[in-house]
A and B are shown apart, each in its own frame.
Chain A
Amino acid sequence: MVYDGIVIGLVIGLIRAGWRSGIAALSQIRIKGGMIFPILLGIQLVLYFLHGKISFIEQYNGYMFMAVYVAGLYVLWLNRKEKGFWWIFAGVALNFLVMLVNGGKMPVSIEATASVLGPAYTQMLTDGTAVSKHIALSDSTILPFLGDIIPLTSPYPRSQVISIGDVVMNVGIFIYLQNVMLIHKLRASFVETN
């Protein structure tokens, strides 16, 4: 779901800013602690890859994801001056919160999953197989409204179930990208009125 906001933000940004100045603006992006993101991604990939191979990792998988989250939140906090990062921070924090209180796993609404992704996926969820980060939403779930409960389907091009945190985060990404890519245009019009 992280990529949706980026893709939509980029496409609309390029349309609004124009191809050349849009790309030029993108090359100007500077994020504090930017190197931490690829490292976090790497850790996630490694964990995913090793999943099921080493039992030790499986046992602490949830906590490791938590640690990754905290590091990510820290980077976002560093960049809070950038427009839109507050939204991203809030979204990630909401996701983090609900995972934290539910044992490191994201609760997913079975109802919503069934309506969008079909019964096969629902089966996997209830069995608890194959999906390490998620857990079926039940009566014992704390803060269920922060879980993955929003079904997305056509006319949206992809079918998935997302949380309110995801939505807020993607709004932030969208705002940030628009702001970054249109900066030349905004500045140009400012000079014009002068």
Chain B
Amino acid sequence: MGVAHRFYMQLRQPKYTYAFLVCLAGSILFVTSDGHLFQSYSTSEWVTIYAMVAAVLILEHYTFQLPPEGNQQSMDSSIYLAAVFTFGVSFALFVLLISSFVLMLYDRSMKWWKHPLNFAIYTFMITGASVAYHLLGGNAGAFDIKHMTAYIFGLTAYFFINVLLVGFYYFLLYKGKLFEVIKTFLTDAIFAYLSTLLLSLVLVILIVNNRSFGLFLFLAIAVLLSHAFRRLFVMYSKISDKVNTDQRTGLYSHSYFEEKLDDYIKESREKDIPLSLALLDLDDFKKYNDAFGHPQGDRLLGFFGQIVKAECEANQLLAARYGGEEFSIILPSYTKEKAFQFIDGLRKKINDTPFDGVDVFPHGCISFSAGILEVNTESFDKSQLVGWADRALYVAKSKGKNTVFIYGEVSNLPQRLEHDINEIEQQIKIFLSKDVYTFKHSKRVFSYAVDMAEVLNLNEENRRLLVLGALIHDIGKLEIPRDILNKKTKLTNEEWEIIKKHVLWGKEIVLATNKYQDLAPLVELHHERFDGKGYPHGLKNKEIPRLARLLCIIDSFDAMTTERPYQDTKSFQEALNELRRCSGTQFDPELADSFIQYIESRLTQDKSANPVGTEAI
């Protein structure tokens, strides 16, 4: 019962259902179309069958790959097609039956149920090709130039049945668009496929005239071709390996790491699985280098890299040399707790590993500090992720090294925030002369942000992000000419385009100073709208980090309520109504609600404290 139930549950997955149905239909087709029995072949026909089975097996063995990845090609189709054209469909199906059986016995690398699936798919293709061939007047036998259209039609039928059946399987497997899947299939495989099909015609001509020797000659050519393709692929992977790995440590290179990080982030967003990132830094490596020289230092790096590599590969993690003595590890489907466990285990293992000259290290062993970050919806792009992990690493270093810290759970030294605020304030003071309104606006948005951080009960790290981000968010306006910034009349289209650019300029300014890199998304995205109609990227919903969505609300609210000469000013009540109206379109409804409540509570407070005060503050 248990087994049967499990089998049933497995079958309910679409790809298995599909495989099962194809197998079933294929077997039925096979049984109904094959009229011949074992005994009815003469011994000389048996010799041909053996030869063809051998050819299929050899070609299957010489399956080759085409770049870029996972694109398997084998030339066995040409054998089946030639069998259909010369000896008829039941002969071809019989060859298929025996070769599938032998393959199933000795090729254990494939999942067992893929063998019957392949068998069924081939049955469809062979039968389809035969039907098409006979429809256009082709007969089993020697090559006849008069039947050229029949041959071409047969080949086309074979190809399309293949593309459809296999394409649909991958469609179910990877949940892509069917059309897209078939398109990539066509563009990737069409040349190899076409040559396979044409080779079948060559084989037809050879096999009728010279039987076994013709087949042998064909086989030799096909094997050589397959071998050449294989060598090409080996060369390709060798070179791409060289590009993607760091020669010193054998780990992946920085650029490959960045490339893969993008892929993993995308995957984790789509499938909603956790993803963690760790940055490692060898402690006091400079000391070691100074004591023993660079060659020995390189040896230490190589040694360390090998351990990291072995540990990570055993757990299907991706480790890269980030640069110098810094290393980075991507931990797919790891939560930060699990990641911490792994990295801390790695740290202990490294501590316990002996190496020449470790006495110069303060801990008396090789050690590293590490920062861990779990990727979540808050994080917008990878420079920010690395920045955060780096911050955790920095804290780990400052807490005495040889430790691992998780970003966000670190008490991030509050006095530093104070200091950072002062520093950024100095930067925006430049607006005092250029555009005093922007200066005051930034200061007000900042104070709202401080309060909102309290209201939303943000953690230490997010509070810092929001507060500093609010203060610096319009820094890009430095680049906008005064004339446009202070223009009293309506702006032209070009001028608007320039204004819109301030978010990108701001991002560049923020990225330029290493320290505030993680503020970049707030600066860049505070004009994105919840419904996707904002700028610069038109992101929507959860694609925009939560804090950027919040900043957008605060920014808009302050812009509406700011007094500017020659412009309408909304009262607080009017602005709140506007927020309510646009909640769900321009603004995140949830955050807008919190903000509205906060402003309202402030208003009632002010009223009770100062009953005669006006609404405008």
Interface stretch among A25-33, A149-157, A179-187?
A: A149-157
Complex Cα–Cα for A147 and B47 (A): 11
Of the residues A112, A137, A144, A167, contact of B50 by C-beta under 8 Å: A167
Q: Residues 126-144 of chain A: 1 if any B CB is under 8 Å from the residue's CB, otherwise 0?
A: 0000000000010000001
Residue of B nearest to A107 (CB): B43
Q: Cβ of A86 < 8 Å from any Cβ of B?
A: yes
> A151 to chain B: which residues have CB within 8 Å?
47
A4 within 8 A of B: no
* Contact A149-B106, Cβ < 8 Å, known A155-B213, A167-B54: no
A95: interface (CB < 8 Å) = no
- Closest CB of chain B to A71's CB: distance in Å? 25
A19 in the interface, Cβ–Cβ < 8 Å? Answer: no
Which range holds the interface residue count of chain B? 10 to 19
A112, A145, A147: the one within 8 Å of B41 (CB): A145
Q: Is A145 a contact partner of B213 (Cβ separation < 8 A)?
A: no
Known: A86-B106, A167-B54. A149 touches B213 (CB 8 A): no
Q: A137 and B43 in contact (CB under 8 A), knowing A86-B106, A164-B50? A: yes
Quick one: CB contact mask for B35-74 with A, threshold 8 Å, 1 for yes? Answer: 0001101011011001000100000000000000000000
Which B-chain residue is minimally distant from A145 (CB atoms)? B46
In the bound complex, what is the Cα–Cα distance between A151 and B50 (angstroms)? Answer: 12
CA distance A145 to B106 in the complex (A): 21
- Cβ–Cβ contact B54 & A149, under 8 A: no
Residues of A within 8 A of B38 (CB): 145
Quick check: B44 and A111 within 8 Å, CB to CB?
A: yes
Q: Is the CB of A112 within 8 A of B213?
A: no
A109 to B44, CA, bound (A): 9
Q: Smallest distance from the beta carbon of B234 to chain A beta carbons, Å?
A: 12
Are B43 and A111 closer than 8 Å at their CB atoms?
yes
Q: Are B43 and A112 in contact (CB under 8 A)?
A: yes
For the complex, what is the distance from the CA of A132 to the CA of B54, rounded to whole Å? Answer: 31
C-alpha gap A137/B106 in the complex (Å)? 30
Q: Residues of A contacting B54 with CB < 8 Å? A: 167
CB-CB contacts below 8 Å: A82-132 with B: 86, 109, 111-112
Closest to A142 in B: B39
B53: nearest chain-A partner, CB-CB: A164
Smallest beta-carbon distance A123→chain B, Å: 19
**Residues B114-148 near A (CB distance < 8 A):** none
Of B39, B41, B47, B106, which is within 8 A of A150 by CB?
A: B47
Q: Digit string of A40-75 for contact with B (CB within 8 Å is 1, else 0)?
A: 000000000000000000000000000000000000
Instruction: Determine the interface band of chain A, counting residues with CB < 8 A from chain B.
Output: 10 to 19
* Chain A 150-175 per-residue mask, 1 if CB under 8 angstroms from chain B, else 0: 11000100000000100100000000
Report A86 CB to chain B, min CB distance, Å: 7
- Residue-wise, chain B 18-45 has the 8 Å CB interface mask toward A (1 for contact) of 0000000000000000000011010110
- Chain A: CB-nearest residue to B213: A155
Would you call A109 and B43 a contact (CB within 8 A)? yes
Q: What residue of chain A has the Cβ atom nearest to residue B54's Cβ?
A: A167
Closest A residue, CB atoms, query B216: A155
Note all chain B residues with C-beta closer than 8 A to A145.
38, 41, 43, 46
How far is A150 from B38 in the complex, measured between Cα atoms in Å?
Answer: 17
**Which residues of B are found within 8 Å of A109, using beta-carbon distances?**
43
The smallest C-beta distance from B266 to any residue of chain A, in angstroms, reads 32
Q: Is the CB of A112 within 8 A of B46?
A: no
| Shortest CB distance B534–A (Å) | 52
Known: A86-B106, A167-B50, A167-B54. A144 touches B43 (CB 8 A): yes
Check if A112 sits within 8 Å of B106, measured CB to CB. no
Give the contacting residue for B47; candidates A86, A137, A149, A155; CB below 8 A: A149
Find chain A residues with CB under 8 A from B43 CB. 109, 111-112, 137, 144-145, 147, 149
> Distance in Å from the Cβ of B297 to the closest Cβ of chain A?
22
Closest to B51 in A: A150
Q: Which residues does chain B contribute within 8 Å of A150, judged by CB atoms? A: 47, 50
Cα distance A86–B43 in the bound complex, in angstroms: 26
B contact residues around A137 at 8 Å (CB): 43
The CA of A137 and the CA of B39, in the complex, are separated in Å by 14
| Distance, CA A167 to CA B39, complexed state (A) | 21
Q: B residues within 8 A CB of A111?
A: 43-44
Note all chain B residues with C-beta closer than 8 A to A86: 106
Kindly list chain A residues whose C-beta atoms are within 8 Å of the C-beta of B47.
112, 149-151
Q: From B105, which residue of chain A is reached at the shortest CB distance?
A: A90
Q: With the chains together, A109 CA to B50 CA distance in Å? A: 15
Please, which residue of chain A has its CB at the minimum distance from the CB of B38?
A: A145
A152 to chain B, nearest CB (A): 9
Chain A residues with Cβ below 8 Å from B46 are: 144-145, 149
Q: How far is the CA of A151 from the CA of B41 in the complex (A)?
A: 16
Q: Which residue of A lies closest to B58 (CB)?
A: A171
Min CB–CB distance A111 → chain B (angstroms)? 6
Residues in B whose Cβ lies below 8 Å from that of A164: 50
Q: In the complex, what distance in Å separates the CA atom of A164 from the CA atom of B52?
A: 13
By beta carbon, the residue of chain A nearest B39 is A144
Complex-state Cα separation, A155 to B50, whole angstroms: 18
Q: 1/0 per residue A4-31: CB within 8 Å of B?
A: 0000000000000000000000000000
Minimum Cβ distance to chain B for residue A129 (Å) = 23
* Interface residues in B160-215 (C-beta closer than 8 Å to A): 213
Task: Please measure, in the bound complex, the distance between the C-alpha atom of A86 and the C-alpha atom of B108, giving whole angstroms.
Answer: 13
CB distance from B465 to the nearest CB of A (A): 45
Best-buried of B41, B43, B44 by chain A (most CB within 10 Å): B43
How far is B51's CA from A151's CA once the two chains are assembled, in angstroms? 12
Compute how far the CA of A164 lies from the CA of B54 in the bound complex, rounded to whole angstroms.
Answer: 10
Chain A to chain B: the 3 pairs with minimum beta-carbon distance, closest first: A149-B43, A145-B46, A109-B43
Kindly list 15 other residue pairs between chains A and B, CB separation below 8 angstroms, not including A145-B46, A149-B43. A86-B106, A109-B43, A111-B44, A112-B43, A137-B43, A144-B43, A144-B46, A145-B43, A149-B44, A149-B46, A149-B47, A150-B47, A164-B50, A167-B50, A167-B54
Q: Footprint of B on A, CB under 8 Å?
A: 86, 109, 111-112, 137, 144-145, 147, 149-151, 155, 164, 167
27 residue pairs A–B, Cβ–Cβ below 8 Å: A86-B106, A109-B43, A111-B43, A111-B44, A112-B43, A112-B44, A112-B47, A137-B43, A144-B39, A144-B43, A144-B46, A145-B38, A145-B41, A145-B43, A145-B46, A147-B43, A149-B43, A149-B44, A149-B46, A149-B47, A150-B47, A150-B50, A151-B47, A155-B213, A164-B50, A167-B50, A167-B54
Which B residues fall within an 8 A CB radius of A?
38-39, 41, 43-44, 46-47, 50, 54, 106, 213
